[in-house]
Amino acid sequence: MNVNKGFATLAALCASVFVVGTSEYLISGLLPQVGADLDVSVGTAGQAVTAYALGVVVGGPVMALLTARLSRKGLAVGLMALFAAGSAISALAPSFGLLLVGRVVSSLSHAAFLALALVTAARVVPAEKTGSAIATVASGFTVATLLGVPLGALLGQSAGWRAPFAVLTALAVAGTVLLAAVLPRQEVPAARLRDEIRVVARRPVMLAIATTAVGFSGVATVFTYIAPLLTWVSGFSAAAVSGLLLAYGVGSFLGNLTAGKLTDKSMSATVRGVFGGLTGTLLLIPFAAVWQPTAVAAVLVLGLLATATIAPLQGLILRHAGAAPTLAVSANVGAFNLGAAAGSVIGGTIVAVGALRWTGLAGAALSLIGLALTYLVLPRTRTAQDAEPEVSTLTAA
């Protein structure tokens, strides 16, 4: 693949990742409107995040296994079409139950598509640039947080919560057409299903997946309910909350790209620094939220750290995956969403008992566990460079 075609391929994938990524947390900024329109509580409305996340966790690995032998181009186009169908169901849902159905349909394409994009990115750069490549593709996801989620929340404020899902459907259809036009045809992957399963069963991969799930649940515990926290505790208007979500997205975008570059230098230091920072930030949020200036600072720092674990943890998995990375990467994408599901349930429980302000304490405890797990994934005595000989052994196994 020449440079121009490679750039066009990655650009199309990144644009599509932006569309898919917008869907995941779009509803987080619309919970009060969804709850009022469909006659459910804010805590119940938050379970629309849970439904999507669980769809990714369960459906992602299943889709990866079922599609392992399909053409990459056909798979990408089909996954985007499935996502468009789910978004349309969500936009038209007359009840909360049907909204959940639409969310699950969309979620089935999420992990498999993102895995496809990340694996493609890693294969078009030298091995020592894997972290930066992963961060570049994942920037589609962070730009979704930067622009898609807050703009969707702003549109939902003025035109109703269904309007953002209608726009998302149109963008998904456009993404499907773009992928069909731009992606080159590729040979069917040579890896067998048992190769994919064997990679996931490797200890470093399993530990990385566990670290992702536990660590990210801390972020989700707070972020799922960030709109009511900023409205009811900090006293911001709905329009101001949209602006703060934009600030969160700026932090996510910058943090992801920075973490990618740092991962190329030291994977272990990067992932531990991120989890340590998350633990401290989440611990302070209950106290920062009561004063608007510190609430703004806390949201910005949380955004800076929230997605910075993507590059080091996905890079670790790709390092051990060899020629069969699809299921492992998809499982780790699912782990982020398992963390989102767990976090939204934990946060919802805390909100239900009237303790919305204190979700950060639970989040900090979960991130601290994630930090502890990093010492099992990447022992202090090992560096990224030291791990290279082991990769060859594992790949050949």
The pLDDT assigned to 11 comes to 78
Q: Which residue range forms the structural domain that includes residue 9?
A: 3-396
Alpha carbon 168 to its chain centroid, in Å, reads: 17
pLDDT at 382 over 70: no
pLDDT at 278 over 60: yes
| Cα dist from 291 to 26, 304, 355, whole Å | 26, 20, 17
Query: Which pLDDT band holds residue 86 (cuts at 50, 70, 90)?
Result: very high
Largest alpha-carbon pair distance within the chain?
A: 58
How far is Cα 312 from Cα 310, in angstroms, rounded to an integer? 6
115: which 2 tokens?
């895995």
Region 266-273: mean pLDDT is 88
Q: How do residues 143-154 score in pLDDT, each as one tens digit? A: 886 777 778 888
Query: Which pLDDT band holds residue 219 (cuts at 50, 70, 90)?
Result: very high
pLDDT at 337 over 50: yes
Q: 240 versus 325: which is more confidently predicted?
A: 240
Query: Which pLDDT band holds residue 124 (cuts at 50, 70, 90)?
Result: low
Region 295-309: mean pLDDT is 90
pLDDT mean across residues, the chain: 83
The pLDDT assigned to 24 comes to 78
How far is Cα 254 from Cα 250, in angstroms, rounded to an integer? 6
The pLDDT assigned to 53 comes to 75
**How many domains are there within the chain?**
1
Q: 239 versus 284: which is more confidently predicted?
A: 284
Q: How do residues 12-59 score in pLDDT, each as one tens digit? A: 888 899 999 888 778 877 888 888 888 888 888 888 877 887 787 787
pLDDT at 78 over 60: yes
**328: closest CA among 122, 52, 141?**
122
CATH of residue 307's domain is: 1.20.1250.20
The pLDDT assigned to 191 comes to 62
Q: How do residues 199-212 score in pLDDT, each as one tens digit? A: 788 888 888 889 98
pLDDT at 388 over 70: no
Question: What residues contact 188, with CB distance under 8 A and at least 6 apart?
Answer: 69, 70, 71
How far is Cα 249 from Cα 264, in angstroms, rounded to an integer? 23
Judged on CB neighbours under 10 Å (0-12, 13-18, 19+), 199 is: buried
HEC states along the chain?
CCHHHHHHHHHHHHHHHHHHHHHHHHHHHHHHHHHHHHCCCHHHHCHHHHHHHHHHHHHHHHHHHHCCCCCHHHHHHHHHHHHHHHHHHHHHCCCHHHHHHHHHHHHHHHHHHHHHHHHHHHHCCCHHHHHHHHHHHHHHHHHHHHHHHHHHHHHHHHHCCHHHHHHHHHHHHHHHHHHHHHCCCCCCCCCCHHHHHHHHCCHHHHHHHHHHHHHHHHHHHHHCCHHHHHHHHCCCCHHHHHHHHHHHHHHHHHHHHHHHHHHHHCHHHHHHHHHHHHHHHHHHHHHHCCCHHHHHHHHHHHHHHHCCCHHHHHHHHHHHHCCCCHHHHHHHHHHHHHHHHHHHHHHHHHHHCCCHHHHHHHHHHHHHHHHHHHHHHCCCCCCHHHHHHHHHHHHHC
The pLDDT assigned to 385 comes to 43
